């Protein structure tokens, strides 16, 4: 191995004592490839297994915690105990290749397509639709329903434990329900779950506490609990960088094992809400976190040099998404001193050797600009 890249292979101990064999994690990415009943397909298991031997940890695509939280066609479920055997198959497929499997748990809220939701009853913090075409007007959840969803996050965590996962990642990013409660654009409530900035944090913080309670009750101390967040929203009156910094300050004291920022580009800078727009979002986040909890950075990291430059910012862990689809052997190539052989552009003729399920492959190859250099 080139000594320049040795830091990528340093072990890392999470706050709960779990040791990661290196600094590289597979980022969660929706794959649209589950069965219609919400069970995991063999194609999905093979897709994850193909990418699990180099990285230290794999965060799965998101799974819904209640039937009305299903956000995508071909999404696998974790909303009932009947799903535990399906979940176990996925956890085992990842574990057998040497990575820690972490189940990303979520509720899609107002982003759920009506045809996937029972009785087309799309719900959110308030009756404010997402901006853009084809988004339904959601029904504002009653306070008792919010509390039921909090409990559902806990129940799904119990299922993850029983299925053999090494952790869960609470999905509070990308415009889904937890973010909808934090956002002033989507949350216009006047009860204990809305109003001030602090009250808009209530729902995600109570989800975290419920998940931690279940972990304490049903798992040993090595079970990992992480939280993913988006730093800003493009909407007028949406989340700004200073909102997120206040939230991250609070999240850093919740006893989590990591925070995971959702970025398209690791190097991106804030849109609004802070004075210095030439300072990266990552730099702002690291400053506020101040070593209280590990931060996973992500976004457009393709080459070994991209990764080592990202680590030099002070982020202890890096997640790769698109690049691990393009080159599942990314980690191994660097460890063997073959970083020059890393592939950073997707070849449309290599689906079979890349072990990518048909539904995901079709979306990737028909979405211009999503993946670099499709040829």
Catalytic residues: 176
Q: Quickly list DSSP for 284-327.
A: HHHHHHTTSS-EEEESS--SHHHHHHHHTTT-SEEEESHHHHH-
If one counts every other C-beta atom within 10 angstroms of the C-beta of residue 21, the result is 17
Asked whether the beta carbons of 324 and 26 are under 8 A apart, the reply is: yes
- Burial grade of 371 (CB within 10 A; 0-12, 13-18, 19 or more): middle
Q: The tokens of 259 are what?
A: 């925070």
Per-residue three-class SS string for 104-124: EEECCHHHCCHHHCHHHCCEE
Distance in angstroms (rounded) separating the CA atoms of residues 94 and 185: 38
Distance in angstroms (rounded) separating the CA atoms of residues 194 and 196: 6
CA distances from 239 to 13, 181, 272 (A): 32, 11, 9
> Which are the contacts of 340, defined by CB distance < 8 A and separation ≥ 6?
none
| Token pair 């691990």 in the structure block, residue | 324
Distance in angstroms (rounded) separating the CA atoms of residues 307 and 350: 24
């Amino acid at each position: 191995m080139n000594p320049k890249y040795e830091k990528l292979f340093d072990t890392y101990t999470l706050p709960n004592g779990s040791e990661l064999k290196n600094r590289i994690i597979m980022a969660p990415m929706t794959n649209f490839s589950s069965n219609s009943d919400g069970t995991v397909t063999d194609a999905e298991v093979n897709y994850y297994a193909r990418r699990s031997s180099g990285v230290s940890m794999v965060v799965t695509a998101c799974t819904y915690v209640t039937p009305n939280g299903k956000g995508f066609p071909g999404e696998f479920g974790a909303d009932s105990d009947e799903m535990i055997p399906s979940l176990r198959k996925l956890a085992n497929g990842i574990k057998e290749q040497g990575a820690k499997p972490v189940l990303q748990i979520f509720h899609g809220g107002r982003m759920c397509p009506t045809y996937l939701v029972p009785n087309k009853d799309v719900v959110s913090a308030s009756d404010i639709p997402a901006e853009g075409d084809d988004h339904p007007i959601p029904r504002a959840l009653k306070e008792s329903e919010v509390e039921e969803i909090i409990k559902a996050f806990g129940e799904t965590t119990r299922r993850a434990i029983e299925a053999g996962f090494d952790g869960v990642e609470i999905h509070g990013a990308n415009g889904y329900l937890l973010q909808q409660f934090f956002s002033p654009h989507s949350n216009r409530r006047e009860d204990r779950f809305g109003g001030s900035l602090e009250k808009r944090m209530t729902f995600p913080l109570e989800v975290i506490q419920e998940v931690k309670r279940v972990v304490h009750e049903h798992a040993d101390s090595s079970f990992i609990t992480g939280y993913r967040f988006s730093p800003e929203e493009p909407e007028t009156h949406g989340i700004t960088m200073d909102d997120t910094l206040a939230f991250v300050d609070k999240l850093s004291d919740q006893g989590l094992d990591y925070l995971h920022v959702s970025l398209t580009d690791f190097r991106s800078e804030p849109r609004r809400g802070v004075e210095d727009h030439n300072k990266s979002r990552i730099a702002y986040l690291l400053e506020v976190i101040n070593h209280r909890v590990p931060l996973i950075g992500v976004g457009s990291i393709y080459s070994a040099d991209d990764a080592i430059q990202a680590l030099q910012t002070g982020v202890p862990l890096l997640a790769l998404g698109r690049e691990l689809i393009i080159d599942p052997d990314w980690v191994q190539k660097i460890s063997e001193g073959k970083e020059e052989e890393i592939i950073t552009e997707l070849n449309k003729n290599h689906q079979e050797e890349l072990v990518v399920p048909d539904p995901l492959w079709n979306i990737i190859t028909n979405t211009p600009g999503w993946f670099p250099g499709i040829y």
